[in-house]
Structure 1
Amino acid sequence: MSSLGPDWVRCADGVLYRSAARVLLFDDEDRLLLARGHDADDPGRSWWFTIGGGIDPGESPREAAVREVDEETGMRLDPAGLVGPVLRRRARFDFFAETVRQDEDFFLARADGETTLSRAGWTAIERDFMDELRWWPLGELSATAAEVFPHGLPTLAARLARGWDGTLIHLADDNDDQRPAPPGGERRHGPSNG
């Protein structure tokens, strides 16, 4: 287990790896919920990203997505109400002075009624790097100069806000041309692109 939590495992190449579930969560005004975080080693740099996090042992991506939304926002979603996964991404990024790799399944969901947000369920790590939650109007998201992940999210969000056509979208991070196998050689969950 790493200091980042039990969902991160160190691969043979020394890089931490995990599988994650994320949610493109829209409200009834088609605003997308994003979190803003910052790099602890470079507090002046911040970025916006979707709600979600690591898949715990024995948990399905759908279950993880629902749990993460609850922990990060206080909103409770019905697992049956999640659509997808609609998108899969491989990412490599720096996180708490570590280079990490993550395979992500993204689900689509709609917030029913009340959209009051709470930080009460944030973990210690989330409190250290997450700064705020915000419902973004899609036009404003498309026009922002802020860093937003995954790359191309404003275009994807506008497309998916109209509904999902059933086609799984695959994104590969520009910095990651090879997905690692976790220790033991088995992937708990990952993209099915060959």
Structure 2
Amino acid sequence: MGEEVVTRQVSRVVLLGPDDRILLLHGYEPGDPTHTWWFTPGGGLEGAESREEAARREVAEETGITGIELGPVLWKRHCSFPFDGRRWNQDEWYYLARTKGTSTETAGQTELERRSVSGLRWWTSEELSASHETVYPTRLAELLRTLLDEGPPSAPVVLETESA
């Protein structure tokens, strides 16, 4: 009999600084540091916390940035991927957030994050569009450009399911 598949509820944050740069974390597979990608801050809900509470907590833990202005949910997606020896199935909500401060601090990261995140970087939309590095969600450059040009969608956009 197969294992029960549990879908992890995740809040992610499209964190924009005062100059509309987006903050991304540079991650890697703990067992293979050559397998790298960029991704937005965020993570799974803990206990009875709301998605909004999880978004604020994850940004604070992963980046040291507190007091963000949390905006609407921009996008939703399901994804499934192998990481650190197991399969992760996630239901992700991407919140828009703004911050005036761009200084980061990673002391609050979890043990797994310390083993799988090599740094953070603020990206312009142009830099993200020109990059050949792996970024999740895979259409982030296009989605960010639309967000900056048109503003947040009137309702969350459901992105295609990504599975690795």
Q: TM-score, normalised by structure 2?
A: 0.92
2:52 to 47, 57, 62: 62
Structure 2: stretches of 5+ with no match in the other structure: none
Call closer, same or farther: CA 1:18–1:174 in 2, change over 3 Å.
closer
Q: Secondary structure at the match of 2:114?
A: helix
Question: Which deviates more, 31-40 or 69-78?
Answer: 69-78
Indicate how the Cα distance of structure 1 residues 105 and 170 shifts in structure 2: closer, same or farther if over 3 A, else same.
Answer: same
* Percent of paired sites with the same residue: 38
Of the candidates 148, 152, 155, which is equivalent to residue 167 of structure 1?
155
Q: Does 1:101 align with 2:86?
A: no
Of residues 81, 91, 111 in structure 1, which corresponds to 2:79? Answer: 91
Map 1:28-39 → 2, pairs under 5 A = 28-39=18-29
1:104 partner SS = strand
The 3-state SS of whatever aligns with 2:159 is strand
Q: Which whole-Å CA distance do the structure 2 matches of 1:57 and 1:98 have between them?
A: 21
CA distance in 2: counterparts of 1:131 and 1:74, whole angstroms: 15
| Structure 1: runs of 5 or more not aligned | 1-11, 177-194
Asked if residue 40 in structure 1 is aligned to residue 27 in structure 2, the reply is no
Distance 1:136 1:56, change over 3 A: same
Give the Cα separation in 1 of the matches to 2:52 and 2:28.
26
Please give the root-mean-square deviation of Cα atoms over the aligned residues, in Å.
1.6
Report if the CA contact (8 A) 1:15-1:100 is conserved.
Answer: no
1: CA distance, partners of 2:34 / 2:65: 29
2:117 maps to which residue? 130
1:18 is aligned to 8
Q: After TM superposition, give the deviation of residue 137 of structure 1 in Å.
A: 1.0
Alpha-carbon offset, residue 44 of structure 1: 0.8
Determine the C-alpha separation between the residues in 2 that align with 1:100 and 1:15: 9
Structure number with higher strand proportion: 2
- Partner residue of 1:115 out of 66, 78, 102: 102
The one-letter code matched in structure 1 to 2:83 is F
Residue aligning to 1:8 = none
More deviation, 149-158/164-173: 164-173
Describe the superposition over 1:46-96 as per-residue Cα deviations: whole angstroms up to 9, x where unpaired.
Answer: 000000001112110001000000001111135xx3112111010001110
Q: Secondary structure at the match of 1:82?
A: strand
Q: How far did residue 141 of structure 1 move?
A: 0.5
Q: Secondary structure at the match of 2:40?
A: strand
Alpha-carbon displacement from aligned partner over 1:12-37 (angstroms, at most 9, x marks no partner): 64445311100000111111000000
